[in-house]
Structure 1
Amino acid sequence: MKAIVAMTATIEALCSVLRTSRGQPILKLQSAEQRASLALDLLSLGSRAALGVSFLLSVSDRLGFYGAPGERGVSWGTFERFLVYAAKVNAFAPAPMIPFLGTAATVLEFLFGVALVLGLALRWAAFGSAGLLFLFGSAMAISFGIKSPFDYSVFAAMCCALFLGLAGSTRWTVDSSLWCSTRLRNVQ
């Protein structure tokens, strides 16, 4: 009986939404500017999450948080194994530079990942991510051939980062919260 009551309430709620929207998608009830703003906010949120989480998962793997090398889902498992990979990607670089390059990439990926997920210093993080991805893709192309960075969508991720940098801070970012609270304090 409770299931029937719950189902009836759900159907009534859906009918109410349909009556409100006159059979049209809810977004069509908003102005074109509101739809564009919402679309930009959602696209930015999804792009930030995808790029930021990708960076953080990669760092987690090379620090061994997924498990030991060779286990299912583990690419590197240790920072030392990651440095072996970094040496292959940067085959043109002198061997003494590899620990610096690997460490710098790891630190930057962590910082950019956190900043992107939170939406903190978003433009700096986005343009920095785009630069890092451009360098990574270029190194892959030099060491493995031009097809390699496209196989791993490195340049697609770079374009995603450029989009975020150009879009700037949208809703659902720490930046927009800080900006709004600063603006409110200045008004008072």
Structure 2
Amino acid sequence: MENSFKVPQLLLRGALGITFLTPVLDRLGILGPIGTGNIEWGNWDNFINYTSTLMPYLSRPMVDVMGGIATFSEFTIAVLLIIGFKTKYAAIGSSLLTFTFILFMTTSVGIQKPINFGVFTASAASLLLSYIPIYKWSIDNLLHKSN
């Protein structure tokens, strides 16, 4: 069967990877301070303050933990998607993580925020990516060829 998804899967992996990586870099302050360009948080404290608005029923220490888990997950998923390693599982994880974001954002700040941030699109695109049979130009493909 001809793999007609060669370029689309590569672009989708890259787009989703960058979509996860840039907010991580933002909240770590690597992209600059808040108020510059399109910086949303600019530092960890601003990110955790925002996260606490999404989880108002959790204590601040628990919000810190949840923010850390989300950040670690986003970074891991970003790297896996960009390099194309365990792509199917990274895409499923991406879809589940973004669906979780949709639930928290919608119940706490309304449906417009996840729409504005493209979270619905990222969740659906991740699910679609998980169904692509071959990830050309990926570590997965290299490992598959060597077997």
Does structure 1 residue 151 correspond to structure 2 residue 116?
yes
Structure 1 stretches of 4+ with a deviation exceeding 4 A read: none
Q: Could you tell me which amino acid in structure 2 is paired with residue 157 of structure 1?
A: A
The CA deviation at 1:92 is 3.6
Partners in 2 of 1:169 and 1:89 — Cα distance?
37
Paired residue type of 1:134: F
1:43-62 mapped onto 2 (5 Å cutoff): 43-62=8-27
For 1:121, the aligned partner's letter is K
Superposed, 1:95-114 pairs within 5 Å as 95-114=60-79
Given the alignment of the two structures, is residue 162 of structure 1 paired with residue 127 of structure 2, yes or no? yes
In the alignment, structure 1 segments of 5+ residues that lack a partner are 1-32, 183-188
Alignment RMSD (CA, Å) = 1.4
Percent identity (aligned): 33
Deviation at 1:169, TM superposition (A): 3.5
Q: Quick one: which amino acid aligns to residue 94 of structure 1?
A: S
| Larger helix fraction of residues | 1
**Range with bigger deviation, 114-123 or 146-155:** 146-155
Moved more, 83-92 or 146-155: 146-155
Separation (CA, whole Å) in 2 of partners of 1:117 and 1:162: 16
Higher RCO (C-alpha 8 Å, min separation 6)? 2
What CA distance in whole angstroms lies between the structure 1 residues aligned with 2:36 and 2:93? 32
Rg (Cα) greater in structure: 1
Confirm whether residue 177 of structure 1 aligns to residue 145 of structure 2.
Answer: no
Give unmatched runs, 5+ long, in structure 2.
Answer: none
Post-superposition CA distance 1:25-80 (Å, at most 9, x none): xxxxxxxx64xx23x12111111000001111111111111112222232111111
